[in-house]
A and B are shown apart, each in its own frame.
Chain A
């Protein structure tokens, strides 16, 4: 009996029901559409370049490190964030483009 209750708990635990989300960030006018981004581990972010110039979205912060490389106008790239952490997302070309990223458990 205990075994079946235990199995039932696993099946209905809220954490197992939470689905990874896909967030969207837009780049236009040499700006990001948001300056802060709070997501959960396992979520993804799609970076859309809706600008008329190329961008290069990256993070060099420990724990959130990634590099989407050169992203031409009209394109989009997805980045998945597997682990909790905090850091800055920036454009390597345009220094005023910054997002504070927080990845929660």
Chain B
């Protein structure tokens, strides 16, 4: 791959001692970490079937899963907004503003935990969380089951997806999780084509940005792998009193003010940024990291430090991040059962 001499040279200038400037095999090994998987993983307890995806698709777009009959999963997880809502903070039941920004569900099948604080370990567990949360969709799950049972058109969908299991909290959760796994898969971005060997798929500035991402800026310490996240929890220095994962683990200092590292795929489509929407643009986010975060607390991640990036380097990093954008997988708006 003729890009490698360039990459190696750039690494030699930018990342002495950072572990990447050790020759072509090391760079190749690093680039191989960004290869996309070939198949979507489904758990044994909720294997894929087209009927399950179809049911989950309908439920995901059905606002009757809320107390107001007005908010569906798709209201906040809008595929056209990279499975987010584009707001600094989410809006819930009665248009109340919630504490955090809607996290994307892009590539949800691979997430190691869900919610900004990682309080759900599976999509099945996550799926029914917002439905029953008083501030979000505000529909107690027993009422949700009753409501769905009164819609005749749902009965054959559940029967086909989960024969003999009926309409229950569990089957609703499993169907939505199946749809999320299947539908939220990101498509191939210019970056992926470059990783696969298409030399001109991204610009030379973006290639320099990739080097910075992995070396001087060290973004890849957490934004690693093909989804550009390891799902780890860190206090990165966002100001505010939201303790994030610390509310779940009050005795663990490193979890105070810590939030889940989000994927960077399609990140250019998900402004504003951070768990609270406090950074308006991607350029602002890069500057946030460049100065080592906004608030230095005892819990601040040891990985957060001033980066001393030049203006040119910040532009190259931004150009690299924009190569992670790709069109949303084709998503139809389903007719809802009557």
Seen from chain A, the residues whose Cβ lies within 8 Å of a Cβ on chain B are 30, 52-54, 56, 58, 60, 67, 69-70, 72, 92-96
Chain A residue with minimal CB distance to B254?
A56
Which of B65-73, B203-211, B228-236 is near enough to bind chain A? B228-236
Which of B47-55, B138-146, B147-155, B245-253 is near enough to bind chain A? B245-253
Q: A30-B230, A53-B221 are in contact. Are A92 and B112 (CB under 8 A)?
A: no
User: Interface extent on B, as a size class?
Assistant: 20 to 34
Contacts of B19 in A (CB 8 A): 52
Interface of A (DSSP majority class)? loop
**Cα–Cα distance between A70 and B255 once the two chains are bound (Å):** 10
**Cα–Cα distance between A94 and B229 once the two chains are bound (Å):** 11
**Cα–Cα distance between A72 and B302 once the two chains are bound (Å):** 9
Interface of B (DSSP majority class)? loop
A95 contacts B254, C-beta separation under 8 Å: no
Contacts of B254 in A (CB 8 A): 54, 56, 69-70, 92-93
B231 contacts A96, C-beta separation under 8 Å: yes
Chain A residue with minimal CB distance to B253?
A69
B113 contacts A93, C-beta separation under 8 Å: no
Q: A53-B221, A92-B254, A95-B232 are in contact. Are A70 and B302 (CB under 8 A)?
A: yes
Contacts of A67 in B (CB 8 A): 251-252
Chain B CB within 10 Å — which of A30, A60, A93, A94 has the most? Answer: A93
Contacts of B233 in A (CB 8 A): 92-93, 95
